[in-house]
Amino acid sequence: MLLYVAALGSVTHEPPTNSNRTPVSNTQAPLRQAPPAHLPYLGLLFVVLAWGSGPVITKLVTTPPMVGALVRFGITVPVLFALVGLTGGHVSKAILWRAAPPGLAFGINLIFVFNAVQEATVAVLAVVTTLQPALILLISGPLFGERPTATHVAWTVVGVGGAAAVVLGAGGDLQASPAGVLYAVAALGTFTMYFLLTRLARTATTVKPIEWMAAINFWSFLAVLPPALLTLERSDFDTLDGTDWLWLVILAYFTGVSGHVVMSWVHGYVPASRSSLGLLCMNVFAVLLAWPVHDEPMTWIQGIGGLVVLTSVAAVLRIPVAAVKPPPTASR
Predicted pLDDT at 219: 95
Question: pLDDT grade, residue 320 (50/70/90)?
Answer: low
Question: pLDDT grade, residue 122 (50/70/90)?
Answer: low
Predicted pLDDT at 14: 45
pLDDT of residue 296 exceeding 60: yes
Cα separation, 59 vs 89, in Å, equals 35
pLDDT of residue 325 exceeding 60: no
Question: pLDDT grade, residue 321 (50/70/90)?
Answer: low
Cα separation, 306 vs 274, in Å, equals 18
Predicted pLDDT at 176: 62
pLDDT of residue 234 exceeding 80: yes
Whether this model's pTM surpasses 0.75:
no
Q: How far is CA 304 from CA 161, 162, 166, in A?
A: 11, 8, 8
Predicted pLDDT at 16: 45
Q: Which of 23-37, 58-72, 162-176, 282-296 has the lowest mean pLDDT?
A: 23-37
pLDDT of residue 8 exceeding 60: no
Question: pLDDT grade, residue 167 (50/70/90)?
Answer: low
Please report, for the chain, the start and end positions of each structural domain, with discontinuous segments joined by +.
Answer: 36-317
Give the distance, in angstroms, between the CA of residue 97 and the centroid of all CA atoms in the same chain.
21
236-257 pLDDT, tens per residue? Answer: 888 888 899 999 999 999 988 8
Predicted pLDDT at 105: 92
Average pLDDT, the chain: 78
For residue 155, is it left (φ>0), alpha (ψ between -120 and 50) or beta?
alpha
**Residue of 298, 299, 290, 297 lying closest to 60 (CA atoms):** 290
Please state the rounded mean pLDDT for residues 26-35. 52
Predicted pLDDT at 75: 92
